[in-house]
A and B are shown apart, each in its own frame.
Chain A
Amino acid sequence: MSEAYTHETAIISEGSNSYDRVLDGAIAISILAFATALLALIEIVPLDATGGELGSFLLSLFAAVSGAVGLTAVASWANVVPVTSQRVRGIAVSLVVTAGLLTAIAYAAAVNLATIFGLVLVVEALVIIGAGISSRLAIVDTEPDSSAGLLAGGAFAAVGLVVGGALGGSVVGFDSVLWLLTALVAGGGLGMVTILPREDIGSTLPVGLVVGTLGVAIATAAIGVGWQWNPETLSGGFTGGAVIPLFVLFGTLLSAWSAAKCRAGFGAQGREYGAFFVINLNALLMVSVMIAIVLFVAVKGAAYAIHGFSAGALTILVVLTPALALATEIARSPSGTGDWHPGAATLFRLTPLAATGAVAAVLTTVLVTGQALRYPFTYLIQVNRESEPLETAITITPEPAVGAVMLTLVGALMFVVLFRRYGSLRNVGATFPRAETVRQAVPAAVATVVLLLGAFVVVGSSPAGVPLGTTLGTAVVGAGGLAAVGLTALPVAGVLTRDGPLADRLQASAPLFTVGIFGALGLSIAVLFLQPTAGVAPSVLGVDIVPAAAVLAGLLCAVAAGAASYGARTTDESLQTRLLGEETVLGLTGAAGFVTLLGAHVLATGARFSVLGTAITTEGTFSWPMLMQAYIPLGAEPGGIMPAVVGTVWLVIGASLFALPLGVGAAVFLTEYAEQGRFTAVVEIATNALWSTPSIVFGLFGAAFLIPRLGGNESLLAGMLVLGFMLLPLVLITSRESILAVPDEYRDASAALGVSRWETIRSVVLPAAMPGVITGGILGIGRIAGETAPLILVLGSTLNATEPVKVLQGFRFVAQPPFIVNDQLLAASASLPTQVWAVIAAGVSGSPQMGWATAAILLSVVLTFYGLGITARTYFRRKLNYE
């Protein structure tokens, strides 16, 4: 839609009169009643609540409304989000007033919620009819059309048919033909009342009649809370508890529409206001359904899912490092738009950084005081239809240890991030003849170590009984470690030995930074690989050399980074500041690299390493039983679903390995090589059709075609392939779309430079199309990760699996064809979605809590994929638009 007509509020800006105020009130009370009826439908508030119970509910509703309106009013008053529309203001004020009024009624009169609903509907009917009549009598200034229109007439005729039919049916019964007659009369009547009179009567009187009828029926308890209607012809029936909220939802929606129409003075403006009101309410409803589903599953599953969760404070601190980097990045980025007050924008940008600091401080306190943070809680689980309370706690332990896996992962992530941020320090600083020598010596040393490594791999660590590994290996490892520390000491030494201001000294030492840090990293990596091949882990006085060297080198890097960062503050020259910033990043990169090496060393040797009371261990201090344990038969604690998690991970990997190359390859051929004609069109239609094919059909195919050819058992491999078949069409469709979207100018320009077709595709077309391919791939993977129907036919999952599949360990080489086998791929596996299904299929013996927790984890996995995909798309789109 064009922007030409977006400011409808500007047209009506005169002050409001009592007619407007009453109608704003009617709209407001419709919204309130709509929301309350939704809550009553899902039984958050009982329909027969009276007195205090009802009062306290309405009071909290009043508080919520006041808070919402109040904050908005303050924001509007402070010009943060100015609200100029008279209608919005009127509705906001009326919301507070009517909520207060309802609360007062609940406390004052002994009526239940159902009766209040009925009265609200009656009042609304009266207001709307009154508004229509006053418009007809020209008491207020409106611009009605000559008729409400056929569309509205048809809609009301349909409503009349249903209401009349239901009324007639319940009074005279469905056996006689009379109910049909009443239905026809009511429908026809309402339709006539809508179409024949002028618009102001035609769009209020029928609404008033319908809403009034519903209201009277509810208010007089003709349809009360205990009301039941159980027609013999149906297997089920209707109760007041369900029907009243539904009636109220319908009635309030109808009256909100009509009141909005009256409020805008009928005519074209009135219709627009009414229609937009309904459309907006509907959107609100959709969003709340979505949020409700996600929240509901999360809340239901949370207690079981985090049972026994514990983590060391140090571990969390390590994990917090990337978060710190991200928070810094957010804080550094300029604020997006000028709409905001700059101060407020800065505040929001700094919040993540501050939050990180707060969490880090709390964790440090835990570490220093040695007092664990413990949040104990109790929840109910269902065991053989009986609820049993289960006590558990989330703990943050003060144990000064961190797992090697976690450390390596975080270190590697930080190294990559920092290294990408590091630009270049080439041709900066003074020339050091010796540094040049070192620059040439380090690669030679690394090459020597690698040669030695290769020799050990070929001949073993002790060829012909000569203990070369223990002697030569130990010496080289020791020397390498010392050399690494020496190299990282170079920048610091360079700074200390020179004269002049700190910033100048730092700038002059730039070559020492690059040589020292990169040289030390290279040498350490080589030494790290040498260790296992030589079969040694040399130590001095009980301290392992390699990790000790890594710690020292890392510290020296950090010191260098700190010095550079401090030096940057002492200078005003912008070029120097920038160069010293590069040095800081380089120092941090080195520190991250050595942390990674430290973790990798512990992982490789399996020996814990402790320094200053802090330990790096193979068994981390992070424990999440739900994800990291398998089911424990007859255990006191509920076990986890680790086999299902592992199974889902492998399914996703396998399906992606199958579908991504095939899909992208086929998309490239179809778009770039094949002639665009009938063949490509047919393939496109066929893939689209395959994409909407029910998933169970894929399962049927997999079970009948793949399983007999893959060993005859339900297996992980069959699951991977079936999910791959499902993923294939989506990858193909999205890749093809994004390749087609690459402008032909790109291809022409490349061809004009004499670049071959394939080179053009590889260097021009695919990079340009990559965002779309990646987004489509991620969204597709998210979809198949939650797919269940085909898996229950081909995967062979069982509830309570105790062993995860070990695909990597499953590969074996055998002497006869096919030479390579993997029993684990051909074995049944668990997976998250089939785990939920197994709980359902187990009926009474299934544990609902485990089902909820599994569903919550599955949901978070799938939503993470979707979140990633959507974020990637937004990111690429922004990049495309701003560059």
Chain B
Amino acid sequence: MLQQVWADAQQTLFGSDGTDGSKLAVGASAATLLATVFAFLFMPGLSFPVLAGFLVVTAVGWVTYQGAIARLLTLIATILTVLTVLLITVFLFVRAVPAFTEHGPGLLLVPVKNGDPRWFFWLESVLPTSETFWNPSGGAYSLIPAIWATVIVTLVAGAVAIPLGLFGALFIAEVASDGLREIIKPGVEVLAGIPSIVYGFIGFQVLNGFVQESFLDDGASFMIAGIVVGIMALPTIVSVGEDALSSVPDAMGDGAIAMGATEWQTMKSISIPAAFSGISAAVILGLGRAIGETMAVAAIMAAGVGLANPLFDFFDASATLTSLIAVNYGSASESTLEVLFVAGVMLFVIVAGMSVVSQYIEQRMKEKLKGQA
């Protein structure tokens, strides 16, 4: 067993065609790198000299056994990348554990109003309830309002982005001429590139005033944040949806057209059904973007935490999970920090999960289309 592991490790490290010399070079390089890592972890002061040693050894190896060293370097890059991913994931969870153990279900306090717990999808009978639900100094940390705020903002964003995005994807994939596509596709990419803080600043400076005047609102509200976030999620839906529609084999559309169908009939009855799973992946990814959006929401809505009253009042305002972290982190006490990590873990799990699901759907669609093409 151990021997097997050792053999595998050797195989990974040296590749299958190593000579003694190349093994020596690779081994020395890898050993000095390991030493660097240890030095960084336990004697940070020494890490630079050891790192310099690694660089020298590697440079010597590069001159003598370039192929083997190059392979080692790419291996190191891979290991570091994987480690980064693991580190981020594990660290987030570890930091969130204390808050979980300390507060438990107390993180999901349902607010009480006029003596009665607020209606929250019949969950109020299961979850603990409290008059104060967000009071860092008093130890009341309910993430329910922030979660619900995230849900409403995402719903509004979805209402804006999904129809517009799907029509946009249809336009680029099926309707636009080649020349027009050359212009609009990069245009959509540029729309995705506009930094969120710029959207936030527009919302903060302009849209809030507009809402006060036209919608008799106090200013910041779920609605305006949702619309802005929807515009931000739009490019994701358009480009992923367009990819899905374009990956439908031409032969399928040609078949329909040969039967005398119009382009719209072909689109409606062939392209969209064939690409349906890809389109739903686009919607999932777009909603994931909307959930994770921070700066626009933080800039538009005030930092207060409160459960919308009534639940579907999209003129109300509250910090979402993301803006809760962004706004409170700087001034938070240790116990609040831990709660913020719980919020971070929630976001991470939800959005990463959505990404994995959408990848799975896309994969399946590709395989299916491959079988039919």
Least CB distance, B196 to chain A, in whole angstroms: 7
> Contacts of A851 on B, CB cut-off 8 Å?
201, 205
Binary interface profile of A, 216-248, with partner B (CB < 8 Å = 1, else 0)? 000000000000101001111111011000000
Least CB distance, A414 to chain B, in whole angstroms: 29
| Contact (A700, B190) CB under 8 Å given A280-B175, A668-B74 | no
Within B152-204, the residues touching A (CB, 8 Å) are: 164, 167-168, 170-172, 174-176, 182, 184, 186-191, 193-202, 204
- Tell me if A840 counts as interface (CB < 8 A to partner B): yes
Question: Which A residue's beta carbon lies closest to that of B303?
Answer: A841
Would A282 and B190 count as touching, CB distance under 8 A?
A: no
> Contacts of B262 on A, CB cut-off 8 Å?
5, 8, 268-269, 271-272
| Contact (A793, B326) CB under 8 Å given A268-B262, A286-B164, A851-B205 | yes
Least CB distance, A355 to chain B, in whole angstroms: 23
Which of B193, B266, B293 has the most A CB atoms < 10 Å from its CB?
A: B193
- Interface residue stretch chosen among A162-170, A385-393, A534-542, A688-696: A688-696
A296 to B203, CA, bound (A): 12
- Tell me if B344 counts as interface (CB < 8 A to partner A): yes
Question: Which B residue's beta carbon lies closest to that of A673?
Answer: B71
> Contacts of B254 on A, CB cut-off 8 Å?
2, 4
A445 to B70, CA, bound (A): 40
A756 to B15, CA, bound (A): 13
8 smallest CB-CB distances across A and B, nearest first, come from: A786-B195, A694-B292, A665-B77, A236-B315, A817-B45, A758-B67, A242-B214, A236-B217
- Tell me if B128 counts as interface (CB < 8 A to partner A): no
- Tell me if A697 counts as interface (CB < 8 A to partner B): yes
Would A685 and B356 count as touching, CB distance under 8 A?
A: yes
Would B66 and A758 count as touching, CB distance under 8 A?
A: yes
Would B187 and A287 count as touching, CB distance under 8 A?
A: yes
Tell which of A239, A665, A705, A783 touches B87, judged by Cβ atoms closer than 8 Å: A705
- Tell me if B359 counts as interface (CB < 8 A to partner A): yes
Tell which of A2, A694, A761 touches B294, judged by Cβ atoms closer than 8 Å: A694
Least CB distance, B59 to chain A, in whole angstroms: 15
> 19 more A-B contacts (CB under 8 A) besides A662-B80, A701-B88, A728-B81?
A4-B257, A236-B211, A236-B315, A241-B213, A279-B170, A296-B206, A669-B77, A692-B354, A696-B347, A756-B67, A761-B70, A786-B198, A793-B330, A852-B201, A852-B205, A859-B194, A862-B193, A863-B190, A866-B189
Least CB distance, A570 to chain B, in whole angstroms: 44
Within B195-228, the residues touching A (CB, 8 Å) are: 195-202, 204-206, 210-211, 213-218, 221, 223
Least CB distance, A403 to chain B, in whole angstroms: 31
Would A817 and B46 count as touching, CB distance under 8 A?
A: yes
- Tell me if A848 counts as interface (CB < 8 A to partner B): yes
Would A293 and B194 count as touching, CB distance under 8 A?
A: yes
> Contacts of B325 on A, CB cut-off 8 Å?
696, 699-700, 793
> Contacts of A159 on B, CB cut-off 8 Å?
none
- Tell me if B149 counts as interface (CB < 8 A to partner A): no
| Contact (A758, B70) CB under 8 Å given A235-B313, A836-B197 | yes
> Contacts of B268 on A, CB cut-off 8 Å?
275
> Contacts of B257 on A, CB cut-off 8 Å?
2, 4-5
> Contacts of A728 on B, CB cut-off 8 Å?
81, 84
Binary interface profile of A, 676-709, with partner B (CB < 8 Å = 1, else 0)? 0000000101111111111111111101110001
A330 to B70, CA, bound (A): 41
- Tell me if B263 counts as interface (CB < 8 A to partner A): yes
Counting contact residues on chain A (CB < 8 A from B), the size range is: 35 or more
> Contacts of B292 on A, CB cut-off 8 Å?
692-697
> Contacts of A238 on B, CB cut-off 8 Å?
215-216
> Contacts of A701 on B, CB cut-off 8 Å?
88, 91-92
Tell which of A233, A235, A687 touches B218, judged by Cβ atoms closer than 8 Å: A235
Tell which of B82, B206, B231 touches A683, judged by Cβ atoms closer than 8 Å: B82
Least CB distance, A161 to chain B, in whole angstroms: 15
Looking at chain A's contact residues, the main secondary structure is helix
Would A859 and B221 count as touching, CB distance under 8 A?
A: no
Would A817 and B171 count as touching, CB distance under 8 A?
A: no
A817 to B250, CA, bound (A): 64
Binary interface profile of B, 315-326, with partner A (CB < 8 Å = 1, else 0)? 111000010011
> Contacts of A287 on B, CB cut-off 8 Å?
184, 187
- Tell me if B310 counts as interface (CB < 8 A to partner A): yes
CB<8 Å pairs between A and B, sample of 11: A276-B263, A282-B164, A286-B164, A665-B76, A669-B71, A673-B15, A683-B82, A690-B85, A690-B352, A699-B326, A855-B197
Would A283 and B195 count as touching, CB distance under 8 A?
A: no
Least CB distance, B254 to chain A, in whole angstroms: 5
Would B341 and A704 count as touching, CB distance under 8 A?
A: yes
A874 to B190, CA, bound (A): 14
Question: Which A residue's beta carbon lies closest to that of B299?
Answer: A840
> Contacts of B315 on A, CB cut-off 8 Å?
234-237
> Contacts of A687 on B, CB cut-off 8 Å?
81, 85
Would B348 and A697 count as touching, CB distance under 8 A?
A: yes
Within B217-268, the residues touching A (CB, 8 Å) are: 217-218, 221, 223, 231, 234, 238, 250, 253-254, 257-258, 261-268
Would B313 and A234 count as touching, CB distance under 8 A?
A: yes
A95 to B101, CA, bound (A): 68
> Contacts of A865 on B, CB cut-off 8 Å?
193
Residues of B within 8 A of A (CB): 15, 43-49, 66-68, 70-71, 73-78, 80-82, 84-85, 87-88, 91-92, 95, 164, 167-168, 170-172, 174-176, 182, 184, 186-191, 193-202, 204-206, 210-211, 213-218, 221, 223, 231, 234, 238, 250, 253-254, 257-258, 261-268, 285, 288-289, 291-295, 298-299, 310, 313-317, 322, 325-326, 329-330, 337, 340-341, 344, 347-348, 351-352, 354-356, 359
| Contact (A855, B201) CB under 8 Å given A293-B194, A762-B70 | yes
A816 to B299, CA, bound (A): 46
Tell which of A282, A674, A789, A866 touches B167, judged by Cβ atoms closer than 8 Å: A282
Question: Which B residue's beta carbon lies closest to that of A859?
Answer: B198
Would A674 and B299 count as touching, CB distance under 8 A?
A: no
- Tell me if A160 counts as interface (CB < 8 A to partner B): no
Would B77 and A662 count as touching, CB distance under 8 A?
A: yes
Which of B76, B95, B171 has the most A CB atoms < 10 Å from its CB?
A: B171
Question: Which A residue's beta carbon lies closest to that of B65?
Answer: A758
Within A815-858, the residues touching B (CB, 8 Å) are: 816-820, 833, 836-837, 839-840, 848, 851-852, 855, 858
Tell which of A282, A665, A697, A855 touches B74, judged by Cβ atoms closer than 8 Å: A665
A378 to B293, CA, bound (A): 37
- Tell me if A503 counts as interface (CB < 8 A to partner B): no
Would B77 and A661 count as touching, CB distance under 8 A?
A: yes
A286 to B172, CA, bound (A): 12
| Contact (A275, B351) CB under 8 Å given A786-B195, A870-B186 | no
> Contacts of A867 on B, CB cut-off 8 Å?
190
Would B197 and A662 count as touching, CB distance under 8 A?
A: no
Question: Which A residue's beta carbon lies closest to that of B52?
Answer: A819
> Contacts of A670 on B, CB cut-off 8 Å?
78
Least CB distance, B265 to chain A, in whole angstroms: 6
Tell which of B81, B194, B223, B351 touches A662, judged by Cβ atoms closer than 8 Å: B81
A782 to B223, CA, bound (A): 29
- Tell me if A290 counts as interface (CB < 8 A to partner B): yes
Would A666 and B78 count as touching, CB distance under 8 A?
A: yes
Least CB distance, A790 to chain B, in whole angstroms: 9
Would A817 and B49 count as touching, CB distance under 8 A?
A: yes
A705 to B78, CA, bound (A): 21
Question: Which A residue's beta carbon lies closest to that of B293?
Answer: A694
Which of A228, A272, A286, A865 has the most B CB atoms < 10 Å from its CB?
A: A286
> Contacts of B217 on A, CB cut-off 8 Å?
235-237
- Tell me if A308 counts as interface (CB < 8 A to partner B): no
> Contacts of B329 on A, CB cut-off 8 Å?
699-700, 703, 793
Would B75 and A817 count as touching, CB distance under 8 A?
A: no
- Tell me if A787 counts as interface (CB < 8 A to partner B): yes
> Contacts of B75 on A, CB cut-off 8 Å?
669, 673
Would A704 and B67 count as touching, CB distance under 8 A?
A: no
Tell which of A283, A296, A836 touches B168, judged by Cβ atoms closer than 8 Å: A283
Would A782 and B193 count as touching, CB distance under 8 A?
A: yes
